[in-house]
């Protein structure tokens, strides 16, 4: 159980409560507001979890104020629910929910508007698509694990140019895209979990690479729903075994470069048309070719 917080206000909601069953892998995405009380959290839990699935034997969460409050603590004791709280030195205790959070944020980034005010519109499709996608550990979807079959969303030829027809077409398109992207994301997280790492790839001048947006300030409301990678950019030259000189395109990326941290400008002497970046071992498969992200 975990929260995704500090989201742009969307239909009066500004956070997402993510709950994942550790055995079944089924996920539930709930829309609260960040200022909810522990009593509100209990009501959300009863409405969205207990009414449909019963009481869990234990709940894994971080040490957020809601999860360590006296009310929530006493409630779990009364209901005989064991609380497993992550420690400050081992926050990955609830790693499963953290991974789902990342997948959900990636999905929302794909479909929200530029100003990100409509993210709550896509949550129901996100929940359906996640639970209808095969999980890397069980080799089957959470829906199949629970119900013995996947929830099919068969394609239908819609010819009527009506509001209902347009919405049905949109739902079909989004469901297919999200299912594919979620399966790809789950596979990526599985590969990254492998502790063994290959040697850094070698790039040459002219190769096209993607730039991580991790240290770039964004003009959008929150980076959680913004692009993870920018580009692609061509490599101008290799500076060292782990650093490359990239060429930017001011005609399309001019709004990005001025937002680099000032210390980064000084350290790497970054100009509008070029960047000096450290290599990161991430890559993106594009069709049959591989594009590495740095």
Domains and CATH numbers, the chain: 2-192 (3.30.420.10), 208-293 (no CATH)
> pLDDT tens across 20-62, in order?
998 889 999 999 888 899 999 999 999 999 999 999 999 998 8
Per the model's pLDDT, the better-predicted residue between 80 and 166 turns out to be 80
The pLDDT value recorded for residue 154 is: 61
pLDDT tens-digit map of 95-129: 678 788 888 887 787 777 666 778 888 888 889 88
Per residue, what are the HEC states of 4-67?
ECCCCCECCECCEEEEECCCCCCEEEECCCCCCCHHHHHHHHHHHHHHHHCCCCEEEECCCCCC
**What's the pLDDT at 135?**
81
User: What phi and psi, each to the nearest 5 degrees, are found at residue 195?
Assistant: -70, -25
Q: Burial level of 241, CB count in 10 A (0-12/13-18/19+)?
A: exposed
The more confidently predicted of residues 250 and 79 is 79
Ranges 72-86, 231-245, 274-288, most confident = 72-86
Token pair recorded at residue 290? 């591989």
Could you read off the pLDDT of 175-195 as tens digits, one per residue? 777 677 667 766 666 666 554
Weakest mean pLDDT among 226-235, 257-266, 267-276: 257-266
Which of 113, 110, 149 has the alpha carbon at shortest distance from 126?
110
Helix 163-192 with 123-131: angle, nearest 10 deg: 50
Does residue 242 surpass a pLDDT of 60?
A: no
How far apart CA 251 and CA 254 sit, in angstroms, is 6
Gap between the Cα atoms of 151 and 140, Å rounded: 12
- Cβ-based neighbours of 10, under 8 Å, separated by 6 or more: 116, 117, 118, 119, 120, 121
Q: Mean of the pLDDT values across residues 145-155?
A: 77
Structure letter (DSSP) for residue 279: -
The Cα 82–Cα 87 span in angstroms is 16
Confidence of residue 267 (pLDDT cuts 50, 70, 90): very low
- In angstroms and rounded to an integer, the radius of gyration of the C-alpha atoms of the chain is 22
Sign of CA dihedral 203, 204, 205, 206: negative
* 224's tokens: 């959680």
Residue 156 has pLDDT above 70, yes or no: no
Is 266 buried (19+), middle (13-18) or exposed (0-12) by CB count in 10 A? exposed
Arithmetic mean of pLDDT, 142-171: 75
């Amino acid at each position: 159980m975990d929260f995704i917080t500090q989201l742009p206000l969307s239909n009066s909601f500004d956070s997402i409560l993510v709950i994942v069953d550790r055995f079944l892998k089924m996920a539930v995405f709930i829309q609260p507001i960040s200022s909810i009380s522990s009593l509100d959290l209990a009501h959300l839990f009863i409405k969205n979890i207990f009414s449909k699935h019963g009481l869990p034997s234990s709940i894994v969460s971080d040490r957020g104020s809601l999860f360590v409050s006296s009310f929530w603590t006493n409630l779990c004791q009364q209901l005989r629910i064991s609380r497993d709280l992550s420690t400050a030195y081992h926050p990955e205790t609830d790693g499963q929910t953290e991974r789902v959070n990342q997948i959900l944020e990636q999905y929302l980034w794909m479909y929200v508007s530029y100003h990100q005010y409509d993210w709550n519109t896509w949550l129901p499709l996100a929940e359906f698509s996640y639970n209808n996608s095969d999980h890397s550990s069980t080799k089957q979807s959470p829906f199949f694990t629970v119900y013995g079959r996947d929830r099919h969303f068969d394609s239908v030829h819609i010819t009527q140019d009506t509001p209902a027809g347009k919405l049905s077409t949109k739902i079909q398109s989004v469901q297919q895209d999200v299912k594919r992207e979620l399966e790809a994301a789950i596979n990526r997280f599985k590969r990254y979990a492998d502790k063994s790492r290959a040697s850094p790839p070698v790039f040459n001048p002219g190769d096209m690479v993607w730039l991580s947006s991790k240290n770039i300030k964004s003009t959008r409301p929150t980076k959680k729903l913004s692009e993870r990678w920018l580009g692609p950019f061509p490599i101008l030259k290799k500076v060292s075994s782990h650093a490359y000189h990239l060429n930017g395109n001011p005609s399309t990326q001019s709004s990005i470069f001025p937002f680099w941290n000032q210390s980064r400008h000084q350290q790497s002497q970054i100009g509008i048309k070029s960047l000096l970046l450290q290599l990161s071992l991430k890559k993106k498969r594009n069709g049959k070719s591989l594009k590495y992200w740095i």
